[in-house]
Amino acid sequence: MKKLLGRLVILGAIVGGAVAVGGYLRGGAAGAKDVVQVTFDDGSTRAFASNTPEGEEFTDIARKLVEMGL
């Protein structure tokens, strides 16, 4: 019985660790910071995070232009 409990504790620790790692990874993706800010003629702004298609498009272009210069 004692041995079984020990194994259950170890199994619980492994599952818990896996859940924690998964949560950390998901949190990292969801918490992607805004990398693009567009300001419109009326003064309002719109931000795009790095994990959005628009954000990726802008940052791809920006990365290349920063690298090669204008």
- Contacting positions for other proteins (CB under 8 A): 35-42, 44, 46, 48, 54, 57-59, 61-70
Beta-carbon neighbour count of residue 60 at 10 Å?
10
Of the pair 11, 65, the CB lying nearest other proteins is at 65
Using left for φ > 0, alpha for ψ between -120 and 50, and beta otherwise, residue 43 falls in left
Q: How far is the CB of 46 from other proteins (least distance, A)?
A: 6
Of the pair 18, 62, the CB lying nearest other proteins is at 62
Task: Kindly state the tokens that stand for 69.
Answer: 């210069």
Q: How far is the CB of 68 from other proteins (least distance, A)?
A: 6
